[in-house]
Amino acid sequence: MKLTGPFVQLLTLDHLPLRGKIADNLLEIIPNGGIVTANGKIVKTGNFDDLKREFPTAELDLISGSHIALPSFTDAHTHICFGGSRAQDFAMRNAGKTYLEIAGNGGGIWSTVQHTRKTDEHELSELLLQRIRRQISLGITTIEIKSGYGLDAENEIKMLRTIRNAQRKTPALLVPTCLAAHSLPKDFDGDQHAYLQYILEAILPEVQRERLSDRVDIFIEKSAFDPESSLRFLLSAKKAGFKITVHADQFTPGSAQIAVRTGALSADHLEASTDQDIRALAASDTVATVLPGASLGLGEPFAPARKLLDAGAIVAIASDWNPGSAPMGNLLAQASVLATFQKLSTAEVLAGMTFRAARALDLSDRGILKEGKKADFIIFSTTDYQEILYNQGQLLPSDIYIDGEKIP
Ligand code: NIG
Ligand code: FE
């Protein structure tokens, strides 16, 4: 058993609602706080001196100087397993071409597919681990990672194996998702219906055989897969036992409602969502995952996070880190900027990166510091939790704990 502290402020994020808006005065802030952990779990949080008396035999993990602690973050949407760069796309977009025009002209997702196919598993794994280490340095200890730059059985499986192998080399939890339905591959001899059928028959069974992922994602969009084919595909994947998540309403509205209809864990993007989409999400258990990094990468409006929260949706915030639309890969900076533009409370932003984001991954064991939850927490060298978002990504955690252990 171990007692870590004291902290000027300990933010537990306990007692907050799963859905809808949260005022900052609902945040539980324990002054002079401490965390007792054992076997990777939280035993108790509370006043440091009280805990010291209550657990006299606990090993002391003393934190010197002024620090605050809170649950570590979950990034519930990333594409960080990729080869190559899309700096050229970025420059072209800034010079006036649209994301869809660039994709239509041989740039876009397809160019990353070609690079990723050429990158061998060892190199891909090194690139992925580098990005995972950067995520951890931001305080992110649970990371969803999509395939989707293989777009055939061999290369989709290669990506998912690379993610599985990376799991053996990092203390963070990696949550792999099969996004073979990211885009219609240009070398596929068939229409989108035939490709979706190929995924169902030639990719997903192998994913299950090797236990590479239990999640399936699809990009429903004019440049990718149409709503009707996507709906059929998702229902088949669900029937085969996969959990569902959807790239929805990025440029064209309506697909968040398909996510809701299929009982998806989350509908992600939502930049183009209408009031009808927002109402559907708010009335469902599908997490509305907003991706400010994609808005910043593309120069598109932010998703209507404020409206979603006011309507009562479960709103998570994720980075979407990928080489095309979201090259920044700094969730902390992005969430801060989103808060400024969408007028989000600090509690709403922190909830969106912790227990609400975990919910998008079907994980209920993390994101709150309370008895029985996973002892994943982060420490910042400051006296006030409001400094985290105020510094817009420039204030990084001084220490990161996973399963109660400090990451070296
Ligand atoms: O979430 N929208 C589709 N997929 C990614 C972009 C991937 C890419 O451009 O490489 C996204 O933004
Ligand atoms: Fe994405």
Mean pLDDT of all residues belonging to the chain: 97
Domain ranges within the chain, ordered by starting residue: 2-72+367-406, 74-360
Task: Check pocket membership of 156 for ligand 1, CB cut-off 6 A.
Answer: no
* Confidence at 101, pLDDT banded by 50, 70, 90: confident
CA 5 / ligand 2 centre spacing (Å): 37
pLDDT of residue 180: 98
Q: Is the pLDDT of residue 106 over 80?
A: no
CA–CA separation, 334 vs 328, rounded Å? 9
Average the pLDDT over 283-310 and give the result. Answer: 98
Q: Is the pLDDT of residue 172 over 90?
A: yes
71 Cβ contact partners less than 8 Å away, ≥ 6 residues apart: 11, 12, 13, 354, 355, 366, 367, 368, 369, 376, 377, 378
**Per-residue pLDDT tens digits for 115-149:** 999 999 999 999 999 999 999 999 999 999 999 99
First to last CA, the chain: 20
Cβ atoms of 268 and 247 within 8 Å: the answer is: yes
Q: Is the pLDDT of residue 105 over 80?
A: no
Task: Check pocket membership of 83 for ligand 1, CB cut-off 6 A.
Answer: no
Provide the 3-class DSSP secondary structure of residue 220. strand
pLDDT of residue 334: 98
* Confidence at 74, pLDDT banded by 50, 70, 90: very high
CA–CA separation, 145 vs 136, rounded Å? 14
Cβ atoms of 110 and 46 within 8 Å: the answer is: no
Average the pLDDT over 199-205 and give the result. Answer: 98
Element (H, E) at 140: strand 140-146
**Residue 98 half-sphere exposure toward CB, CA atoms < 13 A:** 6
Residue nearest to atom 7 of ligand 1 (CA): 324
pLDDT of residue 103: 78
* Confidence at 100, pLDDT banded by 50, 70, 90: confident
pLDDT of residue 406: 98
Q: Report the amino acid identity of residue 336.
A: S
Which of 88, 115, 247 gets mutated to test ligand 1 (max ligand atoms within 8 A of its CB)? 247
- Which-ligand-closest: CA of 245? 2
Average the pLDDT over 173-195 and give the result. Answer: 95
Please name the fold of domain 2-72+367-406. Urease, subunit C; domain 1 (2.30.40)
CA 321 / ligand 2 centre spacing (Å): 7
Task: Check pocket membership of 250 for ligand 1, CB cut-off 6 A.
Answer: yes
Which of 109, 266, 290 gets mutated to test ligand 1 (max ligand atoms within 8 A of its CB)? 109
Q: Is the pLDDT of residue 104 over 80?
A: no
- pLDDT above 70 covers a percentage of the chain that reads 100
Q: Which residues keep their CB under 5 angstroms from ion ligand 2?
A: 320
Q: Is the pLDDT of residue 98 over 90?
A: no
DSSP state of 284: S
Cβ atoms of 109 and 82 within 8 Å: the answer is: no
Which of 223, 302, 320, 321 gets mutated to test ligand 1 (max ligand atoms within 8 A of its CB)? 320
- Which-ligand-closest: CA of 322? 1
Average the pLDDT over 256-274 and give the result. Answer: 98
What strand order describes the sheet that includes 140-146? 73-75, 140-146, 173-181, 215-219, 243-248, 266-269, 287-290, 315-317
**Per-residue pLDDT tens digits for 311-364:** 999 999 999 999 999 999 999 999 999 999 999 999 999 999 999 999 999 999
pLDDT of residue 296: 98
pTM equals: 0.98
CA–CA separation, 157 vs 204, rounded Å? 9
pLDDT of residue 35: 99
pLDDT of residue 189: 85
**Per-residue pLDDT tens digits for 362-381:** 999 999 999 999 999 999 99
* Confidence at 230, pLDDT banded by 50, 70, 90: very high
**Per-residue pLDDT tens digits for 43-69:** 999 999 999 999 999 999 999 999 999
Cβ atoms of 145 and 175 within 8 Å: the answer is: yes
Task: Check pocket membership of 93 for ligand 1, CB cut-off 6 A.
Answer: no
DSSP annotation string for 358-394:
HHHTT--SSSS-STTSB--EEEESSS-THHHHHTTT-
Please name the fold of domain 74-360. TIM Barrel (3.20.20)
Element (H, E) at 181: strand 173-181
CA–CA separation, 37 vs 51, rounded Å? 11
